[in-house]
Structure formats: C-alpha cells, structure tokens
Amino acid sequence: MKMRNSKGCFLAFTVFAGFIATAAMAQSQSCPTVRVKEGVLAGSCDAKVAAYKAIPYAQPPTGDLRWKAPQPPSPWKGVRQATEFSASCIQDLQRERLPWTKPFMTQNDMSEDCLYLNVWAPVTASKGKFPVYLFIHGGGNTEGSGEIPVYDGQNLATHGVVVVNLNYRLGFLGYLAHPELTAESAHHASGNYGILDQIAALRWIQENIAQFGGDPSRVTISGQSGGSADVHVLSASPLAKGLFTGAIAESGSSVPTASTTTLAQAEQAGVEVARKLGASSLAELRKAPASAFVPGGPAGKPGTLIVDGYVLPEEVMSIFAEGRENQVHWITGMQADEGSSQPTYGKIPANEFRKQVEARYGEMAKRFLALYPAETPDSQKQSARDRGLASMYLWATATAKTNKFPIYTYYFTEPTPWPEHPEFAAFHTSEIAFDLDNLDKVNHPYGPKDHEVSKTMSQYWVNFFTTGDPNGNGVPAWQPFDPNAPKTEEIGVNPGMRPLMSPEKLAFWKEYFNSPISRNTGVF
C-alpha cells in the first residue's frame, strides 16, 4: 500500500517505545509518532486528540489469502503516514438510504485490501492509562466501514478514552464457506472470516494499544445492529477469550439471537456461489474479481454467521445457557422505533393488521389483539416496542444465570429532530450519534435537550469503559438488571428507570417467546 501524504499536523520526533506527549506539544498541536509492532506511525492531531488512521492489523486478504484467517501485517521501514482512512471493504455502496443519511453510510471507495483500523487517543496519554473502546460497525455484515462519519472517535476520545474502530471483511468475502475451504483449514472450518478479522484486531489491541495510552486490561467492545450480532458471537467464541472485559450490544440482545446457519448448509451455499460464477474450483474462485462478490451482484445474496465448530462452536444462546461464554460486563438496549425505516411502520390498516396478527400469532392472536387492539392508533408501534423489550428481558434473564457480572439494559426514546421526516423518530442506529458524542457529525437540527441526552449517554459509556459500571460522574442512577423487577433505563424523553410494560403484556410475551410460534420470526 502506498504511503499517504499527511494532511494533519506532524512534527518528526525521535521514536520512543511509548506514546509521549507533553502539555507544550498539545498547545502547539504537535503530533507525536507511535511505534507499534510493525513500525512507526505518524498521525494528525489537535490540542486534545491524536488520530491514527488506516493502521494495518492484517495483511491484505487478496489472492491466496482470500478466505483465509487474517495473517499478521507486514512490517514497514521509516515513518508510515496514518492521516487518511483506508478504502472500505467490498460492499454494495449506497451513499444514503433513509432514515440513514450520509453521515450514517459509507462514503469512500472500496477495495479488497481493507483490513485496517483507526485509533483516536488523548494527546495527554501515558502508557497504559486510559480504557479502550473498540467499536464494530453495523450493516448486517454486508456493508459499513470505520470511516463512516457518525462512528468517528474524535469527540469520545476527549473524555479520556482510547477509541478504536475497524474495517472487517463483509458479505461473500467475509462469510463464504465451501467444502474445499473446510478441507484446507487446519480447523476443518470455513466462513466467519469477518469475525476472525475482529479477533485479529482485538489481538492487535492487546499487543499495541499501550503505545497509544490505552490499557489492554480494560477493553470494551461494542456494536450496533450487525455489529451487535458480532459482539454476541465474540462473547461466545473461545477464540476471543481474555481479549476484552466489557460488551455493549445496541439493537441488541434478544431471543432468538442473530441468525446463523450450519457449516454444511453454508458449504452448500458456497458451492452454489461457485456455480453462479462459473468457477469449478477454489483456485478459480480466488481468481475472480472482487467486484463479483458485491452483495446482490452475480454471486447473489450473502449468507449469515456460521456455526462452524471453531469460531462459533454452537449456537450463541446454547453457549450462554451452559455458562461457557466469555465472562464480561454487559450493556444492551434498543431504540423505541427500531422498525421506523419500514414504510408501513404504524400505518397498516386495522383489518390488514388483524389478518397479519392472526397469521403470525396463531392460537395466541386473540390474546394479542386484546392487549393491542387493531383499531387503537398506536397498537402497531407499541406491540413492536414491547416485543423487543420482552425479548431483551428474556435474554438478560437467561444470561444473568451464568454471567458473574451485573447486566445493564436500556431503552432509547429520544426522537431525532427531523422536520421533513418526523415519522422516523428514535430510529434504528440513531442512538450512535448520542453515545459517541457525535451530534456535530450529523445533519439534523439537534437542540439543547438532545445535547443533554448525548452528554448523559456518552458519560454512561465512558463510565462503563472505565469501571464496568455506567454509574457515576453525575449521571442519573442506572440500576442493574433484576429479572424479578422488570425495569430498564430509559434514555431520552423520560430519563430514568421505567417498568418494561404491564404485567399482563409481559406474561403474554414470555409465553409467546417460549412457544414454537415464535421461532424464525424477527426480533422487532
């Protein structure tokens, strides 16, 4: 990869083993260099934060390394300029798709050479001082990038956190299984390469983050949507044991958990991909252009996470139920309007809604409609909200039986101010701008109340990174999860602990999720 010219402030220094910055440096906006295992990095900075972008954490997964576990990055000589983002991983580039405006979507170019991460660190950092936060982007494991503006770590780093995000392989290039891939693997497994990339990034953090001022014994991982599913897989995977101490799952934790497939099913899907591309062997598949694997292109639609017996030995909830998950601190939650990206959200005619309920809930439909009458205007939205809250409650109830640390759950209700589209409200992913303290990165007319919510939410996160507990530093008290007191922390319109729902509604959802009727249906 070619070296890039710096667009930030940079002053050459004698390379130290650690990250050294004095008050004078901060005032003059000088940017210290950092030595990682492979070589020396020069970033860009302001008075508070130094940023290092496009740091390789693995070799480019191209050629013979396509569909292989990530390999350690190659060393370099001299000073590597780390001031611009790398290309994003191969995906179907959609620059904007409402309710996700441009700050929520990938905006740069894509390449198969994409295994890079980005670090934002306080310029006052001294070795091993600050907690570390690794953010795993969403996008259903088929799209997304570390360069997305709303994921920027600059603002959160000013709170005394070393922030990291990354690119990881997506779609077919990240999750293709095939009999030949399984046969060549020493572990007799294939697929889940995107998860292996995330594990490689976590290992890179353990080896190098102290040089940026980060404490490798205090690493929290977080993901939103598809990234949340990955957080659960990492928490269940024996390969990630000991690499992080805290986990945040946003949209969220639920029963059933993220969709997975068996290795045999995934292998057959891979054979079908090869057939569609006219490839008669793995060697030919590896020679196909990366563009052939763009989701929705000639190869078709990518599959899901795979129970491969190696990265993921069993279904996530089975691992949790047996107490074999990685023991970490947890925050998990959901948005009030997770489904508002759908044009029919809350707008289905009463007669049609009743028919859908009868088809979906079968013998339980009559009880559902007694609790959520089809003629009541808000029933559609409220039933979707309660469904998600109940599913989160049941996940936390099950996890609390085996996890030795307290679990904290939340319900985000602050609507995004959007005069043109008020219907989106607290939409899927909207909370990221608040908890990363990035309202200034988004083109919505946020007001004083929004900024107050962001201040509180980002402080909860920083507290959690620091101690494993979101409480402290002047934020409202957040009680840990108690299955015998079904409450959650509301963040937004009416902040504070609130009941999940009425006892009658919760009893209905408990019965529903414990019945065969609930299988293979959506969470929200």
3-state SS track over 443-495: CCCCCHHHHHHHHHHHHHHHHHHHHCCCCCCCCCCCCCCCCCCCEEEEECCCC
Side-chain half-sphere exposure of 269, counting CA atoms within 13 A: 21
Structure tokens belonging to residue 63? 């050629």
Helices (H), 159-262: 171-175, 179-184, 193-208, 226-236
Fold (topology level) of 52-75+86-322: Rossmann fold (3.40.50)
Query: Could you give the maximum distance between any two Cα atoms of the chain, in Å?
Result: 74
Question: Is residue 152 within 8 Å of 436, Cβ to Cβ?
Answer: yes
> Residue 396 carries which DSSP code?
H
Q: In this predicted structure, what is the pLDDT of residue 400?
A: 95
Q: In this predicted structure, what is the pLDDT of residue 258?
A: 57
Structure tokens belonging to residue 172? 């077919």
Q: In this predicted structure, what is the pLDDT of residue 257?
A: 55
Q: In this predicted structure, what is the pLDDT of residue 24?
A: 35
Q: Which of 341, 346, 335, 339 is nearest to 376 (CA)?
A: 346
Burial of 516 (0-12, 13-18, 19+ CB in 10 A): exposed
Phi, psi of 134 (to 5 degrees): -105, 115
Burial of 480 (0-12, 13-18, 19+ CB in 10 A): middle
Q: Which of 21, 500, 65, 72 is nearest to 290 (CA)?
A: 65
Give the gyration radius of the chain's Cα atoms.
23
Homologous superfamily of the 328-524 domain (CATH): Alpha/Beta hydrolase fold, catalytic domain (3.40.50.1820)
Question: Is residue 375 within 8 Å of 511, Cβ to Cβ?
Answer: no
Mean pLDDT by 10 residues, the chain (524 residues): 36 34 40 93 93 98 97 96 96 89 90 98 81 96 94 96 97 95 96 97 97 96 94 97 97 75 93 93 94 85 89 93 94 94 90 93 93 94 95 95 95 96 93 96 95 97 98 95 96 94 96 81 46
CA distance linking residue 99 with residue 63, whole number of Å: 37
- How much is the pTM? 0.90
**Strand bridging mode 79-81 / 39-42:** parallel
End-to-end C-alpha distance for the chain, whole angstroms: 42
CA distance linking residue 209 with residue 325, whole number of Å: 25
- Which amino acid is located at 12 in the chain? A
Alpha-carbon torsion angle 251, 257, 261, 262, nearest 10: 140
| Cα-based angle 53, 4, 171 (whole degrees, multiple of 5) | 55
CA distance linking residue 225 with residue 217, whole number of Å: 26
**Strand bridging mode 329-335 / 246-250:** parallel
Question: Is residue 450 within 8 Å of 418, Cβ to Cβ?
Answer: no
Task: List residues with catalytic annotation.
Answer: 225, 338, 428
Q: Where in the chain is the domain with CATH 3.40.50.1820?
A: 52-75+86-322, 328-524
Q: Which of 197, 322, 303 is nearest to 259 (CA)?
A: 303
CA distance linking residue 390 with residue 487, whole number of Å: 10
